[in-house]
Structure 1
Amino acid sequence: MAISIHDQLLTAIGGSTLVAIFNGGPPGVLYEFIVVSAFYWTMAASIAELASAIPSLASSFVHGGTLVEFGTFSQFVV
């Protein structure tokens, strides 16, 4: 029977959790979770900021309105 990637992943997670509990105890695991969560939230916020800077097809009307807002057709912009 072949060992799948899923089995290897569970072994790696279990091994690292076991090392963390032996070295830092439950408070160490909790602090590690808090720090890693903060880094993941920071990365997610950075990616969301980059994604919001790129105009998409759904927001093309909004960007088109900002282009003609101060032009000759400004009275037609809602």
Structure 2
Amino acid sequence: MKKTKRILALTGVVLLVLLYVFTLIFALIDSPWAYDMFKISLGTTIILPVLLYVYNLMYRLLKHDGENEGGSDDKHRNL
């Protein structure tokens, strides 16, 4: 599982770097479609890390709940 998480993390980093580069390129190009592409690229640069964080948080929560279903962990019984 650690190998899969590393591959996904590396993929996320590569996507973010490409989005930063595309955002810079679209900011420097002077054409009507470049402005729209700049807005899309900038929005994706903001949304992608948020979605990756939410995915990681949900994975941790669901994995944590699944491990304690049959266990005898007293901390979770009182909740």
Q: Which structure has the greater CA radius of gyration?
A: 1
TM-score w.r.t. structure 1 length?
0.41
TM-score w.r.t. structure 2 length?
0.40
